[in-house]
Structure 1
Amino acid sequence: MREFAGFTPAEQRYIKRSLDIGLSRSDAFKLWGTTTSESNAIRRQYVAYQDLKVLRDLIPETGGIGEVERLIGKLIRLAVFDLDQEKLSSFSAFRFLYERLLGPEARPYLPAAFCAAAALPQIRPQHRKTLLQSLSEAAATAPAWSDTAPRFYPEFIDDVEAA
C-alpha cells in the first residue's frame, strides 16, 4: 500500500482502471468513463488487454529461449500501449501494475519489457527519457525476484461512499 500511495494521482487512477479492465473486476465504462475521450481510451485498453490471458500462459517455467521470445514480443507490445498513454511515469508504477496483471512469475521479465517499450519511437522523447531514468540499477540487475503474489490490489472507491 505504501508503494501505491507514493504514485502520482494519475498513476493511481490508471493502475486501478487497468486492473478493473485486465482482471475483469468491474465495468470500466461505468466507473471510469466520465468523458467521451475516456470511454474511447477504455475501449482501446479492452482491446489491447485481450492478450493478457495468453501472456500469463506464455510465462516460461524454464529458461527456454523460444518461450521467452514469444512472451517478450507480446509483453513489449502491451507495455508500449500502456506507456504511450503517458499515465505511468516510472518503472515502479509499471512493475506494480504488471505484477498484478500477470502474476509474480512475470517479474524477471518486466525490466527488459519496460526498457524495450520505453525506448521505442512510439513513446514521446521527453516521456521516454523520464521512463528510462526511472529504472534503477538495482531493478535492472536484480539477481533474483520474489515469487510471492501481490496482496494489495487497489480498487475504485466512490468519494461519496468514502465521505
Structure 2
Amino acid sequence: MACTGTASITIAEMREFAGFTAAEQRYIRRSLDIGLARRDAFTLWGRSPAECMAIRSQYLIYQELKGLRGAMPDETSLEGIAAFCGTLTRLAAFDLAQGRIESFGAFRFLYERLLGAGVRPWLPSAFCAASALPQIEPERRKTLLQTLSEAAATAAGWSAREPGFYPEFIDEAAA
C-alpha cells in the first residue's frame, strides 16, 4: 500500500512539472543539474555563449546552496533568520531575474528539490521578497506576485515529505 501512495505522489509531481511552461521546465532541469551537481551543465545546456555565461553565473551563486542546507532555522525561533532568508532571497532573486521562472509553483518546485522539504515554510517569503526587488521589472513583479495563492502565503503547516520526482535532461535525438 505504501508503494501505491508513493507512486501516486510521484505521478502528481510529474503532472505538476508537466504543467509548467517549456522555459520553466528547461530552467528547472538545468538548475537541478547545477545545484545538485548531477551533470556538466555547460556541455548539456549551453547552446550559445550567452547561455554559457548565464550557466557560469548560476554555478557561482549556487555555491551558496551548500551553506543553506545546513543552516535552515527553526520555524519557532528568530535565531539565524537574517542570514538564511537573506541568502535564500538573493538566490531567488537571481533565479527570478533570469526570466524563466514564471510562477510561485515553479519556484517552489525547484527550491524543494534544491534544498529539501524543510525549506517549504520559507519559500513564500523568499519569493515575495525576491519578486518585489527593483531588479525585477515592475510588470513582471506584478505578474510573479499574483501567482502566489492566498493558501500558499498563509499555510498553517507544510508537509515534511521530501520530493520524489527530480526531472532530468531528455535528449531530443534519442526520443
TM-score by length of 2: 0.91
For residue 15 of structure 2, what is the aligned residue in structure 1?
2
Unaligned runs of 5+ in 1: none
1:80 aligns with 2:93: yes
Percent identity over the alignment?
64
For residue 160 of structure 2, what is the aligned residue in structure 1?
147
RMSD: 0.8
1:82-131 CA-partner distances (Å, limit 9, x unpaired)? 00001001000000000000000000000000000100101011111110
For residue 102 of structure 1, what is the aligned residue in structure 2?
115
Unaligned runs of 5+ in 2: 1-13
The 5-angstrom pairing of residues 11-26 of structure 1 reads 11-26=24-39
Structure 1 segments (4+ residues) deviating >4 Å: none
Paired residues, number: 162
Deviation at 1:62, TM superposition (A): 5.3
The 5-angstrom pairing of residues 105-116 of structure 1 reads 105-116=118-129
Deviation at 1:68, TM superposition (A): 1.7
Whole-angstrom distance in 2 between the partners of 1:144 and 1:89: 24
Whichever structure has more helix as a proportion of its residues is: 1
SS in 1 for 2:39: coil
TM-score by length of 1: 0.97
Deviation at 1:66, TM superposition (A): 2.1
